[in-house]
Amino acid sequence: MAATCLRTTLQVVKTLKISDVGLQRVPVHQGIPRQIVALSQLLHVRYGSFFNRKDSDENWDSIRSVSNQGRKRGRASRGKLARKINLDSGKLGEGITGLVFPGLSKPINKDTASKDLGVQKSLTGPIERSTDPKKAGSNKRKNRLDPYDRGFRGDKLPGKKVDPPDPVDGYTFPGFEAYALEAKFVSNMVASQGKVYKHLVVVVVGNKKGLIGLSLGKGTTVKAALKSATNKAAKQLTYINVYNQHTIWHKFAEKFHQTTVIAEPRHLGFGKKCHPVLNILCELAGIKDIHITVEGSKRNYLNMARAFMVGLQNQKTHQEIADELGQNIVEYHVSRDYYPVTLASPSTDVEKMDTPKAVDFTLDSYHFGNRTRYMKPRKVRFYQKLAGYKKKQAMDYKRRNQSGAMIERMVLGLQPEFKTMK
Amino acid sequence: MAALRKNMHLLKKLNVVSSCVCKPASLKHLHTSAPVLSVGDPLHYFMRDDVQKILEELTGFDVKKTFYQRAQYANKEPNYKVLSDVELEEEIEKAKEIKARRLQMPPFMDIRKPKDDLLSDDPDIAPALTSKYVFIDISDNLRRIPVESKRNVVCRHEDGKLKVADWEQSDRVVRMYYPVAGRNVFIPKMFEEEQLEKILTHENYIDILERACVQFEPDSSDFIRITHRIYEHIAQNGDFDVLHCTRFYGPMVFYFAWFNKIEPLLMHMMNNDHLTSAVHLINLKCMLHKEPSKSGNLFMIIRDYCLGKVKKEYKKDLKIALNDLEKRLEIRAKRMESEAKESNKEKVTG
């Protein structure tokens, strides 16, 4: 009787299964109360009422259940019910060392009963943990994406790579990639149905060699919306001229509704310094080095992408600028000691202009529509005026070359020991 | 003192390109020591007008190659200007100076004579001396001291002898008192023979030469050792095009002509159909070795040289190169003839 009671309690509380052999009944003597000895283990027994007799699920239902009437009134919705707690979560298992605790971490069998039932090592040895971080650990970790594929919205769609477009008339779009920029839930009022909800997705398609397409699609599911958006984008491809296969031809500023995009070309190896949406656009167009600032509304990704696309399409080559102005385009660089290099001169059928230009004329102001860009002065922080900061600056100025000089000394053998500067 | 600072500023500006100034004004003071080779002083030949003219023609000019990208300015953005034709001509006229400076050849000199003159001997003061004392003339006299390396440096030894400091000492002291951007007081490790061998690749030739120009005087033994080793390495691998259109091409050609090793360069020119430069090279060699220079048909001059007195190692290769060149010239001549005929026909029919 007591043994069955123990078994049920353990099942309820810890969900352990204990075979009969594992339990031994001590013969009853007069004057001595009944004892249960689980083979050198004294177990705590709780004499209770219903929870000893009932199943664990039934026990849980007693707290979690709501009547049908109550369910209709919303007493079961929005997390009002008590949560079922997994009591197995803290269960003893095989650790890294592979120790076995019969009766706790393993069921007690016939073989183990005859032998020592104390702590013993498993025959298989320690468990081998896989080094692959994706496979090890809980389910959450399994689904974790690589940082480069994660996008810019956590585990949501924006910024993630999606399936490439479907073939059109036998053309399979080789080398094309598609990215989702925006995904949201939109609604529309219809007379017969009332509010009708739909998914809206903005997708860019490109081949990293100058062809790029932008479009948006709607659908009842996200998958349907993505498919329509990618296929539409693939049919609206435009060619973008990339300067020296790494950057844009010149500076430009483009406004679309409330969003202004200001882009500047940069040297080889600079990288892309821009908004994550424009980063994807640049990558798909084949632009590697660029500096972009976005002013105005930064919430509407579609408008931002459109502004940038329009700016890219309106670029002029050096030859076109020279033809338009009727003068030569000349490049100066420090590396060449400012030796003038003519990039383009007006073609023969164009009228050459020898009239003097306006005093404040520069090529940048020409690209910005006769305006000059206002560069905000850097803010002086409050602590920069304090005496302590100036003192630190002075100390830093003193030591500015010491780390390099120390390495040079060590190379030349003048300072054999490595001593960190204080 | 202010004048000195001004002077130093000018020097630094020049030294962004190089310290090896090779202009007639400073050349007067750069006389070399007695000839090591039997032919004579190489600088005397190097600075001759006819030789300079040939070297300049051989060097050539190409914007991309002459103004090669320097690593320290790789992260700078270019400026753009819009200029009319008249303005552009003015700009190019101004830029001639830049081009000349960028193509300024470092002089080809002999190793300077070791200095070991005893000025005075005072053994009486020897007990008071615990170490050597080096004295340098830091006066600001441009007439007496036109170049920093011409400063008087003397050394009082521990035995009481006052001597003129040797080149190593005097160079180090001058480097310490008159710092120049890019010039180290201690010679960098990369110029040691072991380390130099490791970095000798065709991408590094120009960088090593540029740095050597800043670090050393053109007649110092280190400069001569490094440059000659690089020229030899180039000749071995046939990377002559790397230095073409740069300021090091002239001295390299002069080196091959001076030491009578022009064959690899000549073969390279023949394979690339540079006939005029090949003839220039042959004439330069004749000039330096006091042989009569040749004139007439370009191909004939080259053929005469290849079939004449040449080193045994190159005889086979030269003959093969000559035959290939002859075939190519014949094919070209035939094509020209046929084209001329066709154009004539068109004229007649038209």
B79 vs A270, A332, A339: nearest CB: A332
- Non-local CB neighbours of B348 within 8 Å, separated by 6+ positions: none
pLDDT band at A90 (very low <50, low <70, confident <90, very high): low
**Can you give the pTM of this predicted structure?**
0.72
- A247 in reach of chain B (CB within 8 A): no
Q: What confidence score (pLDDT) does residue B291 get? A: 87
Question: What mean pLDDT is predicted for residues A262-289?
Answer: 96
- Residues A156 and A161: their CA atoms lie apart, in Å, by 11
- Last residue of one domain, picked from the residues A239, A262, A280: A239
- Which H or E run contains B156? strand B153-156
Tens of pLDDT, residues A327-337: 999 999 999 99
Cβ-defined contact of A330 to B76 (cutoff 8 Å): no
Predicted pLDDT at A99: 66
For B290-305, what is each residue's pLDDT tens digit? 888 888 889 999 999 9
CA distance A422 to chain B (A): 25
* C-alpha dihedral (B328, B332, B338, B342), degrees to nearest 10: 150
Indicate whether B9 pLDDT > 50.
no
Structural domain includes residue A1: yes
Contacting residues of A for B75, CB less than 8 Å apart: 267, 269-270
- Average confidence (pLDDT) over B9-13: 42
- Give the pLDDT confidence score for residue A154 in this predicted structure: 85
Q: Which domain holds residue A31?
A: 1-64
- On whether any CB of chain B is under 8 Å from the CB of A243, the answer is no
Residue where a domain stops, chosen among A216, A239, A262: A239
pLDDT confidence tier of residue B26, bands split at 50, 70 and 90: very low
Minimal Cβ distance to A331: which of B80, B84, B186? B80
> So what's the pLDDT on residue B24?
40
Q: What is the pLDDT of residues B144-181, one digit of tens each?
A: 888 888 889 999 999 999 999 999 999 999 999 988 88
Interface check for B78 against chain A (CB to CB < 8 A): the answer is: yes
Q: Name the token pair of A133.
A: 């971080």
Mean pLDDT confidence for A230-239: 96
Whether residues B84 and A354 touch (CB distance < 8 A) is answered with yes
Nearest-CA distance A265 → chain B (Å): 9
Residue B299 bridge partners (DSSP): none
Find all residues with CB under 8 Å of B11, minimum gap 6, and list them.
B148, B178, B180
Which structure tokens are listed for B157?
A: 């030894």
Within-domain flag for A109:
no
Query: Pick from A202, A213, A151, A152: which is nearest to A177 by CA?
Result: A213
B310 Cβ contact partners less than 8 Å away, ≥ 6 residues apart: B263, B318
Note the pLDDT tens digit of each residue in B206-222: 999 999 999 999 989 99
Q: Provide, as residue numbers in chain B, all residues whose Cβ is less than 8 Å from the Cβ of A266.
A: 77
The domain boundary, picked from A177, A204, A239, lies at A239
In this structure, is residue A360 part of a structural domain? no
SS3 B105: coil
Asked if B55 and A299 touch (Cβ cutoff 8 Å), the reply is: no
With a cut of 80, say whether residue A96 has pLDDT above it: no
Q: What does the pLDDT look like over B43-96, one tens digit per residue?
A: 989 998 999 999 999 999 999 999 988 888 989 999 999 999 999 999 999 999
Could you tell me the pLDDT band of residue A95, with boundaries at 50, 70 and 90?
low
**C-alpha separations of B340 from A106, B334, B345, B346, B349 in Å:** 101, 10, 9, 10, 14
Q: Which of B18, B70, B81 to mutate to test the interface with A (most CBs of A within 10 A)?
A: B81
Number of domains in chain A: 3
Say if residue B19's pLDDT is above 80.
no
To the nearest whole angstrom, how far is the Cα of B331 from the nearest Cα of chain A? 36
Residue A59 inside a domain? The answer is yes
Instruction: Specify the pLDDT at position A191.
Output: 95
Residue B78 in contact with residue A243, Cβ under 8 Å?
Answer: no
**CATH code of the domain in which A196 resides:** 3.30.160.20
pLDDT, residue A173, reads 94
| ipTM of predicted assembly, 2 dp | 0.79
Helices A276-285 and A301-313, packing angle to 10 deg: 40
> To the nearest whole number, what is the mean pLDDT of chain B?
86
Instruction: State the pLDDT at residue A94.
Output: 59
Residues 6+ apart with CB under 8 A from B106: B18, B20, B22, B213, B218, B227, B247, B248, B251
Task: Tell me, yes or no, whether A327 lies in a domain.
Answer: no
- Rounded Cα distance between A121 and B55, Å, is 87
Nearest CA in chain A to B13: A337
pLDDT of A252 above 90:
yes
Given a cut of 50, is residue B271 above it in pLDDT? Answer: yes
> What is the distance in angstroms between the Cα of B87 and the nearest Cα belonging to chain A?
9
- Best B77, B80, B183 residue to mutate vs chain A (most A CBs within 10 Å): B80
B39-46: Cβ within 8 A, 24+ apart: B39/B258, B39/B288, B39/B289, B39/B290, B41/B110, B42/B108, B42/B109, B42/B110, B42/B254, B42/B258, B43/B107, B43/B108, B43/B109, B43/B110, B45/B258, B45/B287, B45/B288, B46/B107, B46/B108, B46/B109, B46/B251, B46/B254
Q: Examine residue A169 and state whether it is found in any structural domain, yes or no.
A: yes
Residue A318 located in a structural domain: no
The mean pLDDT of B247-266, rounded to a whole number, is 94
Q: Per-residue pLDDT for A185 more than 70?
A: yes
Output the six-digit token pair for A35: 């004892």
Residues 6+ apart with CB under 8 A from A202: A180, A181, A182, A183, A214, A215, A216, A229, A301, A302, A305
**Structural domain contains residue A198:** yes
Asked if pLDDT for residue A37 goes beyond 90, the answer is no
Residue B119 in contact with partner chain A when CB distance is under 8 A: no
CA distance B256 to A332: 36
Using a CB-CB cut-off of 8 Å, the residues of chain A touching B67 are 335-337, 339
